[in-house]
Amino acid sequence: MNRSIFLSLAFHSIMIVLTALSLPFMMKSPIDVPPILTIDLIQITDKTSIPFAAKASKILEKLKKEEEKRIVSQQAPPSEKKKEKPDRIALPDDLNKEKKKIVKKKQNPKEVKDEIRQASEFEKKELFDPSQIAALIDKSKEDNAETLKKNNKLTQNSVKNAFSNALTLSQEDALKAQIFGCWSLPLGLPYQKNLMVKIKLKLKPDGTVLRSEILDHARMNQPGQGFYKVLAESALRAIRICQPLRVPPTGYEKWKDLQLNFDANEMLKG
Amino acid sequence: MKKILLIIFYLFAFNNSLYAIVEVDITRGNLDPLPIAVSPLYIEPGSEDITQNGKIIKNIGEEIAKVIEKNFKRSGLFNPLKKESFVQNPDVAHIKPRFEDWRLIKAQALVTGKVTISEDKLRAEFRLWDVVAAKEMVALAFSTTPDNWRRVAHIISDKIYQRLTGEEGYFDTRIIYVSETGEKTQRVKKLAIMDQDGANIKYLTLGNELVLTPRFSPKNQLVTYLSYFKNLPRVYLLDIETGVQEVVGDFPGMTFAPRFSPNGEKIIMSFAKDGNSDIYTMNLKDRVVEKITDHTSIDTSPSYSPDGKYICFNSDRSGLQQIYVMRSDGSQVKRITFGKGLYGTPVWSPRGDLIAFTKVHKGKFFIGVMRPDGSGERLLTENFYQEAPSWSPNGRVLVFYRETKTDSDGKGFSTKLWSIDLTGYNERLIKTETDGSDPSWSSLLSK
């Protein structure tokens, strides 16, 4: 009797552990774009009045007097919002209007587009992983081997896709063609850098985006990676412009989680 | 029993592959410039008009927007949309844009702003909006005297450029060059300076003496240039802010192209001593001259790498003029160009990733770039005669000068300033009052 209870307990424990390890939602999920931060303020000295060389001494004195000409930069005040009606007790009609609005939002699929998720500061901290940064730095060092590696990745992807049988080649091509047209590549990107942004999407059955996450988000905060934020934003913009995405009418369970790998290297290297 | 357990184990162990995420590689996109709407800056009611050079500028908000638009257009990275298509008024757009209206005209970014002028003070604020994501990206305000309005427009352009491209802008900068007038054989050459867009041209010398190769310091508003005094070459140092200039030294024989070190403490140049041209540096504090190369060949046009550790220069030590790189103490000299033709005027990019050069091949002149090890040579532009490339402070654009051929009557000769970006497609003439040559780009004024 005791033996059976013990065995039952042991097997149940194993089952729980295996389930926890294999369920996707138990995995650590990366996060989305951070809220946009305003850039540092600048100090501008008076360098506009270019004196004629021969009159240098007079102009020096003049410059001292013109101290107040300095340009001062400051943070612009927050955007003014239109004044709302003065506070008053809501009338029953108002309450009804509000209710109606809420109902409308739920029914209108277009309203759902704005649900592309912004990550909180708390989530960002969670994502920080030094080992991942090291991996990324190593990756950025790679030069010519990049193309070869990419080809390998493609093969792996196709194997993965074939295994899951989520998209046929023509379906994948249709999706690619749609996004090609929406993606405006930032033209100021540096050469010889790792210009790949991976974005994980959670899709609705009609192809609209429920949630988007940038997978290697930590790169944005690294020094010298300012271009990466620009690239990631351009990719997110492309997804927003394109949605609803051209997804197959069937097999939602297979493609509801989709990863788009935006790679600018190939285009820039031409 | 064992079999059942094994099946359960395999089911869970390989469960991940059942959840394998579908990956799609996006390797192509649209390479058109980013469509951006620059709404005229709204003028606060009660603001005064601006008077500049005797002219009254009535709508300063529109003028600032025009300067920003032109900057973007010239950069080749943005496509400013036509104002006629704008639906929303500037004042309302600045408070809360109706993004649907801006999406209709295919704008992906929107610039709005407000100007207030009172008591001889101009205050300009701007906001950059991501039209697709419907959110604000940057908001800043600047206050200054009203006659500085063009600089405010350039600074706003830089902030937007930086936010949208991830690299520093280059609009709040100036270009110093040699202004040329008169016949080809009797050119009057003056030092001139202007904003990078060709506005605000000012002449710094009278044209009595020949001036050559002005070069900006990468750190501040100092300029070094070469001038002939009683037929002897003299290197000068000119402070653009104060107008004070001083003689750095008289040098014997042929002297070429003095240029600053990255920290601005030294100048590097070449001059001929005992009939042989070598590269020398001069410490500006103690004026000590140090010989860097010692070779029987002609070594000229030295330029430091941005970290100051290396110098690129051209030399004919291999028999033909080629580009070499060495450590800043003159050791480890290495030839980096092996292509057909002659290579000269190497200039190291402020980003450090490229060296710009002039190449002469089959009677044609090319401006090109290559990596510091000599690989990845790309010729950006080709013409009858062009040379002297100089980098924008962000290392994305080159300014150089180009000569036109003289016709059979001896007419038609001119020298003009041109700019080209690293793609090689965005080549633009910089309009100047007179002919121009030997341009040099300043660092950012507002850095």
- A218: its two tokens: 């930590």
Question: Residue B281: which of B295, B294, B291 has the closest Cα?
Answer: B291
Interface test with chain B among A11, A23, A44, by most B beta carbons within 10 Å = A44
Q: Which of A34-38, B37-41, B304-308 shows the lowest mean pLDDT across its residues?
A: A34-38
| CA separation for the pair B349, B305 (Å, rounded) | 7
Please state the pTM of the whole predicted model. Answer: 0.74
Share of chain B above pLDDT 70, in %: 95
Tens digit of each residue's pLDDT (9 = 90 or more) over A214-247: 998 888 878 878 888 889 999 999 999 988 999 8
Q: Where are the CATH 2.120.10.30 domain residues in chain B?
A: 174-441
Average pLDDT over residues A51-62: 50
The verdict on a CB contact (< 8 Å) between B141 and A255 is no
pLDDT at res. A33: 31
pLDDT at res. A151: 41
Share of chain B above pLDDT 90, in %: 62
**Structural domains of chain A ordered from first start:** 115-269 (3.30.1150)
pLDDT at res. A73: 60
Tens digit of each residue's pLDDT (9 = 90 or more) over B112-122: 999 998 888 89
Tens digit of each residue's pLDDT (9 = 90 or more) over B308-366: 999 999 999 999 999 999 999 999 999 999 989 999 999 999 999 899 999 999 999 99
Tens digit of each residue's pLDDT (9 = 90 or more) over A88-128: 444 444 445 444 444 444 444 444 343 344 434 334 433 33
| CA separation for the pair B234, B245 (Å, rounded) | 12
Average pLDDT over residues A134-163: 42
pLDDT at res. A80: 53
Average pLDDT, chain B: 89
The verdict on a CB contact (< 8 Å) between B21 and A184 is no
CATH 3.40.50.10070 fits B34-165, yes or no: yes
Question: Residue B389: which of B367, B371, B404 has the closest Cα?
Answer: B367
Which of chain A's residues have a Cβ under 8 Å away from the Cβ of B135?
36
Average pLDDT over residues B209-223: 88
B52 against B153, higher pLDDT: B153
Which of chain A's residues have a Cβ under 8 Å away from the Cβ of B76?
187
Tens digit of each residue's pLDDT (9 = 90 or more) over B172-188: 999 999 999 988 888 89
Which A residues 7-66 touch B at CB under 8 Å? 11, 15, 18-19, 21-24, 36, 38-39, 41-44, 47-48, 50-56, 59-60, 63
Q: Is the pLDDT of residue A145 over 60?
A: no
A192 to chain B, any CB pair closer than 8 A? The answer is yes
Architecture of domain B174-441: 6 Propeller (2.120)
Range picked from A34-38, A150-154, A174-178 for highest mean pLDDT = A174-178
Half-sphere exposure of B290 (CA within 13 A, CB side): 12
Work out the end-to-end distance of chain B between its first and last CA atoms, rounded to an integer number of angstroms: 75
- B371: its two tokens: 């990596």
Residue A267 near residue A206, CB atoms below 8 Å? no
Helix crossing, B149-165 with B60-75: angle to 10°?
40
Amino acid at residue number B368 = G
Residue B135 near residue B117, CB atoms below 8 Å? no
Average pLDDT over residues B46-56: 78
pLDDT at res. A165: 59
Residue B28 near residue A260, CB atoms below 8 Å? no
| CA separation for the pair A202, B313 (Å, rounded) | 55
Place of tokens 């940038």: A214
pLDDT at res. B311: 97
| CA separation for the pair B99, A237 (Å, rounded) | 14
Average pLDDT over residues B305-309: 95
| CA separation for the pair B297, B39 (Å, rounded) | 58
Angle made by CA atoms B162, B420, B343, in degrees to the nearest 5: 125
Q: Where are the CATH 3.40.50.10070 domain residues in chain B?
A: 34-165
Secondary structure of residue A73 in the 3-state scheme: strand
Q: Which of A126-140, B55-69, B357-371 shows the lowest mean pLDDT across its residues?
A: A126-140
Tens digit of each residue's pLDDT (9 = 90 or more) over B230-273: 777 888 899 888 888 888 887 766 667 889 999 999 999 998 88
A227 to chain B, any CB pair closer than 8 A? The answer is yes
A184 to chain B, any CB pair closer than 8 A? The answer is yes
DSSP code string of B155-210: HHHHHHHHHHHSS---SS-EEEEEEEES-GGG-EEEEEEEETTS-S-EE-S-SSS-
Neighbours of A167 (CB within 10 A): 22
